[in-house]
Amino acid sequence: MQDSNKANPPKANGQVETYGKASFAENMLFRYRMFWVVVFAAITAFLLYHAAQVRPDASLQKMIPANHEFVQNYFKYGDDLSALGNAIRVSVETTEGDIFDPEYQDLLRQVTDELSFLNGVNRSGMRSIWTPNVRWSEVTEDGFVGGPVIPQNYDGSEESLAQLRQNILRSGTVGDLVANNFRSALIYVPLNEIDPETGEALDYHQFSQRIESEIRNKFESENINIQVVGFAKVVGDLIDGALLVGVFFIIAMVITFGMLFWYSRCLRSSAVVLLCSVIAVIWQLGIIKLIGSGINPYSMLVPFLVFAIGVSHGVQIINAVVANHADGANKIDASRLAFRGLYIAGLTALVSDAVGFTTLMVIDIAVIKELAIAASIGVAVIVLTNLGLLPILTSYLGVSKGGVAYMKRVQGEDHPIFQLFDRFTQRKWAFGAVGVAVLMSIWGVYQAQNLQIGDLDSGAPELRADSRYNLDNAFQVANYSASTDIFVVMAETAPGECIAYENLALIDRFQWHMENVPGVQAVRSIVYVSKLGMAGTNEGNLKWSSVNRDNFIINASISQAPSGLINNDCSMAPIIIYLNDHKADTLNRVVDEVRGFSEQYPSDSVNFLLAAGNSGIEAATNVVIEDAQFRMLVWVYGVVIVLCFITFRSIRTVLCIVLPLMFTTIMSQALMSMLGIGVKVATLPVIALGVGIGVDYGIYIYSKMREALNKGENLTESYLFALSKTGKAVGFTGLTLAIGVATWIWSPIKFQADMGLLLTFMFIWNMLGALILIPALACLFKVGPKQQTKPTT
């Protein structure tokens, strides 16, 4: 489909019209060349202005399957649950001695104060041993006594520190606000998603940066470490990491430029291809900004793909232009003919890419949909920039003499590697290649059995295991009695009924049911507090730790309950389930047990709604991913098969092109399984992208091969012809695409690294698969020369 310039080489200038008729598009483009340059420049300037305003955004809502039942339930009670969820936990660790030190306590007070001044912090909900809402209490012969944990007359003296130690011990905050080893203390900082004064949404990135500059940098010293854990920090670190992607982009550009030059030996045309591809990226970013869509850490992949696809198509144009020059055409005619020979083919390939990307829309998660939209826009833009603008620019600039000379030299060269690949058209080699592929596929399918759904690493799986955040998280998990994998079930009742005895009794049983599920560490709810309160109001006697049938007594028992365990109109009580991990098995088990309980104890008054908390949302995401995994494969392969069939009208051809792609899909799943990469929001689209772009190789090669077959050449000859025409281009495209995404492997964001690794693997494997398996399969399927057209010898 590409590189067809050789079929009708221009002989002399001014005779362009004799080599095929100029299309309307070609005439429009080349008659008003200057006009289009000005228009492209104006649009580029306009879109650059908008593209420059694109900021990475990592909104939670976009990363989760918003239409899934769990998430809908979570949204329904999102405001009520906010008191539980969105908070950061700042621990201040001393490496010398323990926390009962006047200087340490002074520092802890300062950190607490400083945190309360940060925008977005819900000051009244903050808890640390220095906030007045953290109290101790004790039963005496005369009833309850209690007070703030920090002694009223605290002065840093030995006595007041001893008093503080005693207050901490009887306040029950060890493991909560004070580390089990007394070497660090923790400040719990709830955040307001929406600033109550300005009504503006919290800027997580800014908040995270202020934590760094105003807390960590200011207070950390030789013997003081500060650990910060919480969703806001994850998002902040994600955006920081995402900004590094800009650097990767520059690296990818430099390497690509080097490859372009190596390929064309022409500085001028290399620069033009690079320029047009960068313009495509600018347009893509500008347009997504204009349509109100954002860029997120997932869709950041798109500019890389757009750039790489742009370059690979630009190379085809340049290749043709240089070849036309080599054949003696002038600047304008060389570009015109290049355009004429390629625009249909390029358009078809790009349309198939775009359609492939849109199949990602079956995954009902906003970030993936954004990625699909961004990628489709990007590919559409390439049609304009690299098929439209690029030939116009070359018609002005021409190509360097060196490039033309190089082209003349290598034209028709029969590369030894081509000879090697051509052997796969022979039966023996074909059997060998297909046999190996089948064996590897069997092994791959076996490996892929262990493929996990969801994230597997502990802590924040978005970030690397050795990232500062995950180290901080590990510190807090080790020193405090807290799990960061939280699954919330919402017990929904009629308004005002959430603490009625019958409902509490059922929630109590539910709590115990869940506490007995493997993988569950602990369960907390209003019932837990009520039972503690019952013992508390009865002199701490454990024998009273039971929900009382009398609603007046229940009310008294929960008078000290922390906020968030029932909602305002008492129609919902969250049940917080702390998990060992967030592996898909654990989450599935929890979901099944919740549903099983509801079946076993049907109730008209309590509805146990799934699910909130990071693990609840993750469970929903896993369900959507697992469900979409199969559908997406069906769609993407369906589209590819249909497109191939429309183009080639032959089942055998479709098999020759599609089977190597399937082989790549199986092998990439095996790779994921081996590397412990789960199927998740980040990696699922990669498979569709790999197939969508991977099919291009097959189309390029097969279309050239068919050209020769139609002329009556045998398979071996035809494949060698295809290789000489497109082999280099396929190799170049594969490497350009791979390099574009390979830089991601060094991203501090774990899922970006996973995406980069998988895409690199898929692009290269697809390329090799196409070069080796297409001829082999063609041989086995007995694809031969078209008899009718074969000239008699």
Partner 1 sequence: MKRIALAGMVSALLTGAALSQPVVAETYDPLFTAAPNAPRATQGLLLGAEKIGQNFVVVGDYGTILIGSPASEWQQSNVPTSILLTSVSVIDDNYMWAAGHQGVLLQSTNGGEDWRMVLDGHELLELEYSWLQEKEAELAAAIEDTEDEYEREELEYALDELSFQMGGAEIQFEVGPTKPLLDVHFFNRDVGMAVGAFGTILRTTDGGASWQVANDAIDNVIGYHINKLVAGPNDSLILIGEAGLLARSDDMGETFEMLDSPYHGSLFGALFDDNGGLWVYGLRGNVFVAEDGYNFTPVDVDTRYNLNGGVALADGRIVLVGHAGVMAVIEPDTMQVNVFNHPSGSPISDIQQGIGNEVILLGRAGLQTFALPATGQ
Q: Which is nearer to partner 1, 50 or 170 (CB)?
A: 170
Binding string, residues 83-122; x marks residues near partner 1 by CB under 8 A? ----------------------------------------
- Identify whether 345 is preceded by a cis peptide bond (ω within 30 of 0): no
Using CB under 8 A, pick the residue from 221, 546, 580, 714 that binds partner 1. 546
Q: Which is nearer to partner 1, 136 or 261 (CB)?
A: 136
Q: Which is nearer to partner 1, 419 or 481 (CB)?
A: 481
What's at 176, amino acid-wise?
D
Q: How many residues form the binding site for partner 1 (CB under 8 A)?
A: 36
Q: Which is nearer to partner 1, 515 or 592 (CB)?
A: 515
**Binding to partner 1, residues 600-619 (CB under 8 A):** 601-605
Q: Which is nearer to partner 1, 192 or 538 (CB)?
A: 538
Q: Which is nearer to partner 1, 178 or 486 (CB)?
A: 178
- The DSSP secondary-structure symbol of 605 reads S
Alpha carbons 624 and 726: distance in angstroms, whole number: 40
**Binding to partner 1, residues 771-790 (CB under 8 A):** none
**Minimum distance of partner 1 from residue 169's CB (angstroms):** 7
**Minimum distance of partner 1 from residue 753's CB (angstroms):** 38
**Minimum distance of partner 1 from residue 508's CB (angstroms):** 7
**Minimum distance of partner 1 from residue 172's CB (angstroms):** 9
SS3 390: helix
Q: Which two tokens stand for residue 607?
A: 């509805």
Binding string, residues 551-590; x marks residues near partner 1 by CB under 8 A? --x-------------------------------------
**Minimum distance of partner 1 from residue 477's CB (angstroms):** 18
Q: Which is nearer to partner 1, 192 or 521 (CB)?
A: 521
Strand partners, 679: 453
**Minimum distance of partner 1 from residue 535's CB (angstroms):** 8
SS3 790: coil
SS3 157: coil
Strand partners, 463: 749
Q: Which is nearer to partner 1, 66 or 174 (CB)?
A: 174
- Please choose, out of 282-290, 536-544, 736-744, 762-770, the segment that lies near partner 1 by the rule CB under 8 A: 536-544
**Minimum distance of partner 1 from residue 539's CB (angstroms):** 5
Residue 300 lies near partner 1 (rule: CB under 8 A)? no
Q: Which two tokens stand for residue 189?
A: 């900082």
- Please choose, out of 8-16, 137-145, 155-163, 194-202, the segment that lies near partner 1 by the rule CB under 8 A: 137-145
**Binding to partner 1, residues 143-182 (CB under 8 A):** 169-170, 174
- The DSSP secondary-structure symbol of 123 reads G
- Please choose, out of 294-302, 328-336, 409-417, 539-547, the segment that lies near partner 1 by the rule CB under 8 A: 539-547
Alpha-carbon dihedral 128, 131, 133, 137, rounded to 10 degrees = 70
Residue 542 lies near partner 1 (rule: CB under 8 A)? yes
Contact 566, 503 (CB under 8 A): no
Question: Where does residue 637 fall: left (phi above 0), alpha (psi -120 to 50 degrees), or beta otherwise?
Answer: alpha
**Minimum distance of partner 1 from residue 515's CB (angstroms):** 6
Alpha carbons 691 and 658: distance in angstroms, whole number: 9
Alpha carbons 187 and 92: distance in angstroms, whole number: 8
Alpha-carbon dihedral 24, 29, 30, 32, rounded to 10 degrees = 110
**Minimum distance of partner 1 from residue 549's CB (angstroms):** 5
**Minimum distance of partner 1 from residue 368's CB (angstroms):** 38
**Minimum distance of partner 1 from residue 512's CB (angstroms):** 5
Q: Which is nearer to partner 1, 40 or 480 (CB)?
A: 480
Contact 754, 683 (CB under 8 A): yes
Using CB under 8 A, pick the residue from 402, 495, 540, 638 that binds partner 1. 540
What's at 16, amino acid-wise?
V
Q: Which is nearer to partner 1, 593 or 696 (CB)?
A: 593
Alpha carbons 545 and 524: distance in angstroms, whole number: 14
**Binding to partner 1, residues 410-429 (CB under 8 A):** none
- Please choose, out of 197-205, 405-413, 596-604, 620-628, the segment that lies near partner 1 by the rule CB under 8 A: 596-604
**Minimum distance of partner 1 from residue 603's CB (angstroms):** 5
Alpha carbons 44 and 51: distance in angstroms, whole number: 10
The H or E element containing residue 577 is strand 572-579
Q: Other C-beta atoms within 10 Å of 707: how many?
A: 17
Provide the angle, in degrees to the nearest 10, between the axes of the packed helices 651-675 and 613-648.
160
**Minimum distance of partner 1 from residue 544's CB (angstroms):** 7
| ∠ CA 624-630-634, rounded to 5° | 130
Residue 592 lies near partner 1 (rule: CB under 8 A)? no
- The DSSP secondary-structure symbol of 539 reads T
**Minimum distance of partner 1 from residue 698's CB (angstroms):** 53
Alpha carbons 33 and 273: distance in angstroms, whole number: 18
**Minimum distance of partner 1 from residue 81's CB (angstroms):** 25
Q: Which is nearer to partner 1, 138 or 159 (CB)?
A: 138
> Residue 691: which of 644, 726, 652, 648 has the closest Cα?
644
**Minimum distance of partner 1 from residue 579's CB (angstroms):** 15
The burial of 232, by beta-carbon neighbours within 10 Å (0-12 exposed, 13-18 middle, 19 or more buried), is given as buried
Using CB under 8 A, pick the residue from 538, 560, 650, 716 that binds partner 1. 538
Using CB under 8 A, pick the residue from 543, 568, 792, 793 that binds partner 1. 543
**Minimum distance of partner 1 from residue 552's CB (angstroms):** 9
Q: Which is nearer to partner 1, 161 or 507 (CB)?
A: 507
The HSE-up count of residue 251 (CA atoms within 13 Å, CB side) is 14
- Please choose, out of 280-288, 407-415, 534-542, 722-730, the segment that lies near partner 1 by the rule CB under 8 A: 534-542
Q: Which is nearer to partner 1, 364 or 502 (CB)?
A: 502
Contact 229, 472 (CB under 8 A): yes
The HSE-up count of residue 341 (CA atoms within 13 Å, CB side) is 27
Contact 178, 147 (CB under 8 A): no
Q: Which is nearer to partner 1, 502 or 627 (CB)?
A: 502
Alpha carbons 771 and 700: distance in angstroms, whole number: 11
**Binding to partner 1, residues 465-524 (CB under 8 A):** 501-502, 505-506, 508-509, 512-513, 515-516, 518
- Please choose, out of 103-111, 138-146, 149-157, 187-195, the segment that lies near partner 1 by the rule CB under 8 A: 138-146
Q: Which two tokens stand for residue 133?
A: 């809402």
Using CB under 8 A, pick the residue from 550, 569, 585, 592 that binds partner 1. 550
Q: Which is nearer to partner 1, 546 or 559 (CB)?
A: 546
- Please choose, out of 150-158, 537-545, 580-588, 684-692, the segment that lies near partner 1 by the rule CB under 8 A: 537-545
Alpha carbons 109 and 692: distance in angstroms, whole number: 57
SS3 75: helix
DSSP letters spanning 225-288: EEEEEEHHHHHHHHHHHHHHHHHHHHHHHHHHHHHHHHHH--HHHHHHHHHHHHHHHHHHHHHH
The H or E element containing residue 594 is helix 584-600
SS3 522: strand
Alpha carbons 748 and 596: distance in angstroms, whole number: 40
Q: Which is nearer to partner 1, 608 or 721 (CB)?
A: 608
Q: Which residues bind partner 1 (CB under 8 A)?
A: 138-141, 169-170, 174, 501-502, 505-506, 508-509, 512-513, 515-516, 518, 538-546, 548-550, 553, 601-605
